[in-house]
Structure 1
Amino acid sequence: MSTYKRAIYPGTFDPITNGHLDIIRRAHRMFDEIIIAVAESEAKKPMFNFAQRVHMVKAVTADLPNIQVRGFNNLLVNLSDELDANIIIRGLRAVSDFEYELQMGYANASLKKELETIYLMPSLEHAFVSSSVVRTILNFDGKVEHLVPPKALELIKCER
């Protein structure tokens, strides 16, 4: 039995925020390998297209060893089978996140009993940061420097 621990951190990352990066860095200390799985999620009508979001996450995490970034457009349980990873990382900012995440965790576990979901809270300074807040501010040409990693900000400025 292997003690190597691989975890998946799924999301749309539209765009990746300092809150996401906080979760990634903290999970990185807990696991041997983190696969950041960028969901295509066209139903959510993302601000940034799929390729842009994957590129942005790769750029932001390039300095972290044992991090892979890949896109996906299937069930998370199927991706976990493909990647031989039975640990899912999710972030919880507030009680409002908890209900949704609990429901998703149970749904995934009903499809694959070996799948474990670990919930991490972002550091207090990032607890209010969400991609939707960033998108709203961007829609009004507001400043987001304090909400997104510098490499993401560079790419956001290029894409807009």
Structure 2
Amino acid sequence: MKKACDYIEMKIPAMPEYIGVIRLTLSGIASRMGFTYDLIDDLKIAVSEAITNAVQHAYDEEEDGQILIGFSLYEDRLEVMVADSGASFNLEETLKEVGPYQDKSDIELMREGGLGLYLIESLMDEVKIHQSKGVTVFMTKFLEGEQVERDAEKIST
């Protein structure tokens, strides 16, 4: 019986100097799975943004917070979870402030954090954000061929 997926989990201090460690790990995982160089770059940018948001907003300066990163490796996709347990920001308020992105919007005027969320949603195939005791960001990236087939199935049904 075949496993549903392989799961790798890492926990880092909520400090910017550890983001590179996760980027290197992610690059190795995605490369091993067969992602293209461009898709690996997209993954690294999106995951870095999610971790940066946690580093900057989840914990008070006095707190020694941690960030949990989980990688679920499937045959057709990579799912990445970034979770913090800090007080963090109000998700609904942030999404209202950011509003829908429009091509004519001046990128300089986007609120802090808004660009990070926009990048994550633009670069990943699926993004889910859960807020409870902290914020958890679930990001999915499909292997290129699988994504094309999936989109074709959606259109034909």
If you compute each CA radius of gyration, which structure gives the higher value, 1 or 2?
2
Q: Would you say same fold, with TM above 0.5?
A: no
TM-score under structure 1 length normalisation:
0.24
Larger relative CO (CA 8 A, sep 6+): 1 or 2?
Answer: 1
Report the structure, 1 or 2, having the larger strand content: 2
